[in-house]
């Protein structure tokens, strides 16, 4: 059924290509190529998805300030994620981006990136809860679906799939367009709720109090509502719906499972004094 739905989406894209109003000379071969690329994008295998995402992440790492292994932030992240090596068979790799933005993300190829702004805001267990949430999007295949949709969006413009099953190398402009599409996309409420539950269970699995999921959300909500928040700060989950409801749901679940709210602690920081 999933395959049928994905193909239906591609067929809609293909139909839209041929039903588009004529403007000048219609290049039917180019339109057909775009439509076929849409079908190919919709049916990408896990290996193909990971290969394309890997290209995107490699380019993003080049453009970002990735902190070295010797940096205190990286050492802190290594300590936090010790023993966390894979999700659903996909190997994980962790890096820290030096930026004041409050953010973190995980991709279908297992790349997890955490921003120093987030690490400055939160305690270790809160950071781990956010990481668990982001990894959840990978384990639950949300990131794969998101990338497929991004491929469909740009399929009519670029030949993102090479003939003969060979993975194409994306150009700088293709990577840029793909990055913009991914940046503007978002997960559904259902997917966010599923990732919240994954993060909750992730904390429990790693011997942590899952109440920290709610506490991480509280800090993000407080930062987002603060009038003093800098425009340079990208508040994680700021565009996600019903943050208050999500906090309440995580709190209720933790209390139902017998967990007590941890004593308030000062933010664990790795800032150099």
How distant, in Å, are the alpha carbons of 116, 174, 231, 257 from that of 199? 20, 33, 28, 15
- What is the pLDDT confidence band of residue 124, given thresholds at 50, 70 and 90? very high
Give, for 61, the enclosing helix (H) or strand (E): helix 46-63
Report helix, strand and coil shares of the chain as percent, to nearest 5.
60, 5, 35
Angstrom distance (rounded) from CA 192 to CA 40: 27
Residue 227 has pLDDT above 70, yes or no: no
Confidence at residue 21, expressed as pLDDT on a 0 to 100 scale: 40
**pLDDT digits 0-9 by tens, 29-59:** 433 344 445 555 566 778 888 888 898 899 9
93 φψ region: left (φ > 0), alpha (ψ -120 to 50), beta (else): beta
Residue whose structure tokens are 């004529």? 22
Residue whose structure tokens are 């004593």? 263
- Greatest mean pLDDT among 77-81, 170-174, 182-186 lies in 77-81
Confidence at residue 270, expressed as pLDDT on a 0 to 100 scale: 63
**pLDDT digits 0-9 by tens, 259-270:** 999 987 645 556
Angstrom distance (rounded) from CA 88 to CA 2: 19
- What is the pLDDT confidence band of residue 158, given thresholds at 50, 70 and 90? low
Q: How many CB atoms lie within 10 A of CB 52?
A: 25
Confidence at residue 32, expressed as pLDDT on a 0 to 100 scale: 38
- pTM, two decimals, is 0.78
Q: Please give the positions annotated as active site.
A: 134
List CB contacts of 120: < 8 A, sequence separation 6 or more.
267, 269, 270, 271
The strand pairing partners of 271, in sequence order, are none
Q: Among 190, 191, 194, 197, which Cα is nearest to 252's?
A: 197
Q: Average per-residue pLDDT in the chain?
A: 78
**pLDDT digits 0-9 by tens, 13-31:** 333 333 334 343 333 343 3
List CB contacts of 49: < 8 A, sequence separation 6 or more.
108, 109, 144, 147, 148
């Amino acid at each position: 059924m999933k395959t049928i739905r994905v193909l239906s989406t591609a067929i809609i894209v293909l139909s839209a290509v041929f039903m588009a109003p004529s403007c000048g000379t219609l290049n039917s071969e180019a339109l057909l190529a775009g439509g076929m690329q849409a079908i190919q994008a919709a049916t990408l295998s896990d290996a193909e998805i990971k290969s394309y995402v890997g290209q995107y992440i490699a380019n993003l790492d080049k453009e970002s300030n990735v902190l070295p292994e010797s940096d205190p932030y990286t050492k802190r992240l290594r300590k936090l994620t010790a023993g966390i090596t894979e999700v659903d068979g996909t190997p994980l790799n962790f890096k820290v981006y030096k930026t004041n933005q409050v953010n973190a993300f995980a991709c279908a190829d297992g790349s997890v990136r955490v921003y120093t702004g987030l690490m400055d805001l939160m305690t270790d267990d809160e950071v781990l809860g956010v990481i668990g949430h982001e990894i959840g999007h990978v384990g639950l295949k949300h990131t794969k679906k998101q990338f497929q949709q991004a491929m469909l969006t740009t399929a009519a413009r670029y030949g993102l799939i090479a003939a003969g099953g060979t993975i194409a190398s994306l150009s700088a402009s293709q990577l840029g367009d793909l990055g913009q599409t991914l940046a503007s996309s978002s997960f559904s409420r259902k997917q966010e709720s599923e990732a919240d539950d994954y993060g909750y269970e992730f904390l429990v699995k790693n011997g942590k109090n899952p109440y920290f999921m709610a506490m991480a959300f509280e800090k993000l909500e407080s930062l987002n509502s603060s009038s003093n928040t800098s425009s340079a700060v990208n508040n994680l989950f700021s565009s996600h719906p019903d943050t208050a409801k999500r906090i309440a749901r995580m709190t209720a679940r933790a209390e139902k499972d017998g967990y007590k709210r941890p004593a308030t602690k000062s933010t664990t920081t790795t800032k150099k004094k």
